[in-house]
A and B are shown apart, each in its own frame.
Chain A
Amino acid sequence: MKFIQKIFDSKRKHFVKGGRFEKFYPLFEAFETFFFIPGNVTKNDAHVRDSLDLKRLMSMVIVSLIPPLFFGIYNSGYQSNLASGLPVTFIAVFIKGLQIVLPIIIVSYGVGFAWEVLFASIRKHNISEGFLVTGLLFPLTLPPTIPLWQVALGISFGVIFGKEIFGGTGRNFLNPALTGRAFLFFAYPMKMTGDTVWTVVSGVNYQGVDTFSGATPLAVSAVQGTSAFIESLLSKAGFTLPKLFYGLYPGSIGGTSTFMCLLGALLLVFTGIASYRIMIGGILGVLVAAYPGYIVSLVSGNSTVPMLSLPPFYHLVMGGFAFGITYMATDPVSAPGMNVSKWIYGFAIGALTVLIRIFNPAFPEGIMLAILFMNLFSPLLDHFEIHFRLKKRVPNV
């Protein structure tokens, strides 16, 4: 501890004004404050301050991401070993998962952090801890087979165009991690969607086979031209409700397990960091949007849109909805700040997700676009709610 402090103290002179690396002071500051809460004291009013700072706040988000992260590592390894015919013991699977996921996370953090340092150095502000979350959220939304150069490209796009060109943390109106993912999704659809991207195949038994085809539950549900009830179709493909809930099936790295997201959501709501209004609003939105179609298809017994006959609660456990509504929609910067707006925002995300899933055959999954779309509306929602709220005030001008 003293030893680390000495290292920082001896190197400080290079980074402060007049030093050799004066420009990179934000980098120095980021590392130093990682190790030490600085000794800066209040200057005047509010002589005491809350112990919570942004680093703590963001670390709580990271902690809440641990369940989906570890499950994602396990699941990627499990699916890979299963498809490759390798042993599926816990250790083997976990090591395999680490081999798949760790490089993606390292690239995401490394490249994104480099951009953060660059912008912070030029803009002369400190590096915000928000990136710790962005840099981990982004890889968890990707398929395990993603090429690393695409990870680098995606996080670069997300950080630069999702955040930095608008002024950096706190001024972005889109969620940077989702912006990066959306970029990859539209620029490299072959690597982001389809039946073959969700499982990494390796090993001697499958020489010559470099992809493994496994449809995601959403893809199964969206199959056209069938009149059978999707529920049984899904079960036939192995996607029972418990399996969908626990998430041991091919999919994006962190997004398959609703259960793990639920654990993270509970921590986020308990600590008061993420808004329960957005999460519950999202769930309500899904159910409200999905039930009318479901009832119609039940009554008519036949439907040209097979997804309509899917029981609505399946929408909650399929695809990336749970992950998106827990971690992406609740990003305080791109979500509205007012309470009623948060309900509307969450509700609209849920409803849009279902509408995209059901009616848009081009996109099997809708949560990413729904969140980005509602990100655009959150300033407007805030504007109107503040407007109505101010009307109630006795003016004081």
Chain B
Amino acid sequence: MTSIRIRKGYDINIDGPPSFDVEKLEKPTRVALLPGRIPFIKPRLKVKVDDQVNVGSPVFEDKRNPDFIFLSPGGGRVSKIDYGPRRIIKEIVITLDQDEGYETFPIINEAQVEDIEREALVQKLTTGGLWPLFRELPFRNIPNPQSLPPSIIISLGSKEPFQPLPEVYLKDKIDLFEFGIKILNKLTETIFISASPGNNFVPDRLNTHVTHTCEGVYPADDPGVLLYYIKKHPDENRSWYINGQDVLLLAMLFKTGKYPVDRTVVLGGSLARERKHFQTRMGVPLNHITKGRADDAGTARYIVGGIFKGYTGSQDSYMGFYETSLVLIPEGDEKEFFGFARPGFNKPSRSRTFLSFFNKSSMAMDCNCHGEVRACINCGFCAEVCPVDILPQFTYKSILADEIEEALNHGLLDCVECCLCTYVCPSKIELRNILKETKKAYFLEQL
């Protein structure tokens, strides 16, 4: 086991962390798939409204690569297909039957996995609808099943507030996790598993699998950060990664022969009253999780997928394919009188310009920008937090000047999209968005 100290990053001291408790939620009345939240795909529908589907029936596939199949997370009737602007498919809602039907997939036990051919295994994962759980760095797209990754990185971290803790989702599931690693071993020769140090929750058995402990603040657990620290050669840039919890799904598919829909999700944030882990399923409606567990739900912002990288949901929306976190914090759209001149004992800030520097307790945060957009003054705060040593203040300027080559030289593609640059910027420039959109445009150009 190698231990790595991630030198840069930042942990926000936000109020409302979830507890370790787990509650099993009852079955929701409907679930949904959100094709618009899956990066870089062009969905082609395979169902119509009022079609009957089973758990595991194909619902849509990618037009560019039909191997990327997305299966139904519930058995029942397709009750609504919701289109967004420019006919983007936003939601495919499935009203669940009392007794859900299941598509069946071949059951493969651990011994059989050892003997199976790689192509056959890949094919089982793609038809099993779990291939999109893999993501390829640096663009975080779904990898081409035919390609061979230099390595697969599994991150057992939860540094972004607030993500399901590995100690919760791995509890009593170590066997399953090991099975999952066996499957991954067929896909690549090198597997990196990173965990935070001092994870004494992890039983010794799992510790034998962990290859790297990443010490440091957010986003030390990000697979891109680990790769940045360990890579020696440009070939390694195209490594894949998969979330720790999703490894369990791979094993579940092979073990049970059913499309696995179980997810451990987290509810956190200062407006959530019961902050803890929930065992529920993929595509669950957000209000199914928050019902009776949130204060003042009308004015709260529903952040799906993490405070930094997540997207804004609403009471009526659903958990996505990848997301396992729901955070409720105040919208914070009130004006503040003489805000800039206050001592700010309760104003969270990375800088030492507020008295909050002396306040070590966690603070309630809201979605206010705390200022207007201004020109970049080259303060360099973004470079101080960037975990992969990009110089966002220079890189973003080269992007604005259309010097993409220069931005790439700066390490644009190493960007792990952690959002810290956007978070700290006193000029309130959407740095991460600029970098991310440039990466996206570059990726689409190469297709």
Decide if B411 touches A393 in the complex (CB within 8 Å): yes
B406-447 interface with A by 8 A CB criterion:
408-411, 413-414, 419-420, 422-428, 430, 432-433, 436
Q: Interface centre among B353, B366, B380, by most A CB within 10 Å? A: B353
CB-based contact B426/A53 at 8 Å: yes
Q: Does B42 contact A (CB under 8 A)?
A: no
A230 to B80, CA, bound (A): 90
Q: Is the CB of A47 within 8 A of B303?
A: yes
A170 touches B375 (CB 8 A): yes
CB distance from B361 to the nearest CB of A (A): 15
- The contact of B432 among A45, A389, A390, by CB within 8 Å, is A45
Using A46-B308, A48-B14, A397-B413 as known contacts, say yes or no to A57 and B353 having CB atoms under 8 A apart: yes
Q: How far is the CA of A308 from the CA of B408 in the complex (A)?
A: 50
Q: How near does chain A come to B241, taking the closest CB pair, in angstroms?
A: 15
Q: Is the CB of B349 within 8 A of A48?
A: no
Grouping DSSP codes into helix (H, G, I), strand (E, B) and loop, the B interface class, with mixed when no group exceeds half, is loop
How far apart are B259's CB and chain A's nearest CB, in angstroms? 30
Question: How many angstroms between the C-alpha atoms of A335 and B341 in the bound complex?
Answer: 27
Mask, B284-308, CB within 8 Å of A = 1, is 0000000000000000010100011
Say yes or no: is B334 at the interface (Cβ < 8 Å to chain A): yes
A35-B367 Cα distance, complex, nearest whole Å: 20
Interface residues on B, range: 35 or more
Task: Report A159 CB to chain B, min CB distance, Å.
Answer: 15
Q: Do the beta carbons of B329 and A47 come within 8 Å of each other? A: yes
Interface status of A300 (Cβ within 8 A of chain B)? no
Residues of chain A from 28 to 57 with CB closer than 8 A to chain B in the complex = 29, 33, 35-57
Complex Cα gap A171–B376 (Å):
8
What are 22 pairs between A and B in contact, CB < 8 Å? A5-B335, A29-B372, A33-B372, A36-B336, A36-B337, A38-B371, A41-B332, A41-B367, A44-B312, A47-B310, A48-B423, A50-B426, A52-B353, A52-B371, A53-B428, A55-B340, A56-B340, A272-B352, A332-B379, A390-B411, A393-B411, A394-B232
Tell me the chain B residues, 332-356 only, with Cβ under 8 Å from chain A: 332-341, 344, 347-354, 356
Contact B335 A37 (CB under 8 A): yes
Please state if B427 and A54 are interface contacts (CB–CB under 8 Å). yes
A133 to B297, CA, bound (A): 43
B418 → A minimal CB distance (Å) = 9
Nearest neighbor of A269 in chain B, beta-carbon distance: B352
Q: Per-residue CB proximity of A173-184 to B under 8 Å, as 1/0?
A: 000000000000
Q: Assess whether A46 is in contact with B374, with CB atoms less than 8 Å apart.
A: no
B87 CB–A CB distance under 8 Å: no
Q: How far is the CB of B84 from chain A (nearest CB, A)?
A: 15
CA distance A48 to B375 in the complex (A): 20
Contact flags (1/0) for A44-79 with B, using CB distance below 8 Å? 111111111111110110000000000000000000
Q: From residue B29, how far is it (CB to closest CB) to chain A in Å? A: 28
Instruction: Verify if A313 is at the interface (C-beta below 8 Å from B).
Output: no
- Which of A33, A44, A386 has the largest number of chain B CB atoms within 10 A? A44
Q: Are B356 and A51 in contact (CB under 8 A)?
A: yes
Those of A137-173 within 8 Å (CB) of chain B: 168-171
Say if the beta carbon of B234 comes within 8 Å of chain A. yes
Shortest Cβ distance from B398 into chain A, in angstroms?
Answer: 10
Of A124-132, A217-225, A255-263, the one touching chain B: A124-132
CB-based contact A47/B301 at 8 Å: yes
B366: which A residues are within 8 A, CB to CB?
Answer: 41, 48
Task: Say if the beta carbon of B378 comes within 8 Å of chain A.
Answer: yes
CB atoms of A51 and B394 under 8 A apart: no
The answer to whether B371 touches A37, judged by C-beta atoms less than 8 angstroms apart, is yes
A51 touching B308, Cβ below 8 Å: no
Tell me, rounded to whole Å, the shortest Cβ–Cβ distance linking A64 to chain B. 11
Whether A45 and B433, one on each chain, are in contact in the complex, defined by CB atoms closer than 8 angstroms, is yes
Residues of A within 8 A of B413 (CB): 396-397
Chain A residues with Cβ under 8 A from B383's Cβ? 337
Docked Cα-Cα span, A41 to B376, in Å, equals 20
Whether A359 is near chain B, meaning CB under 8 Å from some CB there, is no
With A47-B301, A169-B377, A271-B351 as known contacts, state yes or no: A55 contacts B408, CB within 8 Å: no
Question: Given the complex of chains A and B, what is the CA–CA distance between A127 and B384 in angstroms?
Answer: 27
Asked whether B309 is an interface residue with its Cβ less than 8 Å from the other chain, the reply is yes
Q: How far is the CB of A363 from chain B (nearest CB, A)?
A: 29
Residues from chain B with a CB closer than 8 A to the CB of A333 are 377-378
Q: In the complex, what residue of chain A is closest to B352 when comparing beta carbons?
A: A271
A47 to B377, CA, bound (A): 23
* B237 lies within 8 A of A51 (CB): no
B340 touches A390 (CB 8 A): no
B360 interfacial contact with A, CB 8 Å: no
Provide the A313-348 mask, 1 if CB < 8 A to any CB of B, else 0. Answer: 000000000000000000011010110000000000
Contact B351 A42 (CB under 8 A): no
The 3 lowest CB-CB distance pairs between A and B, nearest first, are A53-B371, A37-B339, A170-B375
Nearest-neighbor residue (CB-CB) of A125 within chain B: B375
Please report the C-alpha to C-alpha distance between residue A338 and residue B380 in the assembled complex, in whole angstroms: 8
Q: Which residues from chain A contact B414 at a C-beta distance below 8 Å?
A: 393, 396
* Docked CA distance A171–B393 (Å): 13
CB pair B375 A396 closer than 8 Å: no
Instruction: Given A169-B375, A397-B413, check contact A47 B367 (CB 8 Å).
Output: yes
